[in-house]
Amino acid sequence: MFAKPVLGRTTADAEGDVVVLLIGMRINHFWAAHQWLPVALSMFRMLGELARDGDRGLLGRVLLTASPRTYYVVQYWESKEKLYAYATAPDMFHHRVWGIINRKERAGRTRGHVGIWHEAYVVPEGAYESVYADMPAFGLAAAHGQVPVERRGRCARDRFAHRSAAEVAEETG
């Protein structure tokens, strides 16, 4: 089922800091599917696990490809604390996968057939903005909600300058 576009210009309804995780894999040797396919399937299993437990803090995600070799997920998290809590929770699949990877590395059993990576960012309020034209909620807007662009400003400069009520109250103290 495809989401219907919201006509006109909209922006994300994010308030406060935004936590973004980019996580992915690169297939270094296509013929070594027995090495990279489990990595890809693990990502889908982790995303499913997070989708079933909304309290873990994953707000939204977008699956992307950079090339036939490189696949990644842009994830939007409620907080860096929740991201870290998921990554280190012993009852979650991520913890088990990292244990397997670490044991293989220590034993010299990684062969360079697949690369894995992640980058995490905490973007402070006032350091992000977004605009969508005739788009369903996507990316940051799918994670935090979508509002008419006029609520935050028609120009990028105005959207960057937007402050949440909590931020304004803290500034005026």
Q: Cα(155)–Cα(88) distance, rounded to whole angstroms? A: 40
Number of separate domains in the chain: 2
What is the pLDDT tens value at each position of the chain, 173 positions in all? 688 999 999 999 999 999 999 999 999 999 999 999 999 999 999 999 999 999 999 999 999 999 999 999 999 999 999 999 999 999 999 999 999 999 988 988 888 999 999 999 999 999 999 999 999 999 999 999 999 999 998 899 999 998 888 777 777 77
Residue 54 lies in domain: 18-123
Q: Cα(141)–Cα(75) distance, rounded to whole angstroms? A: 12
Same domain, 96 and 26: yes
Same domain, 115 and 32: yes
Q: Helix, strand, or coil here: 25?
A: strand
Report the CATH number that the domain containing residue 116 is assigned in CATH: 3.30.70.100
Amino acid making up residue 142:
A
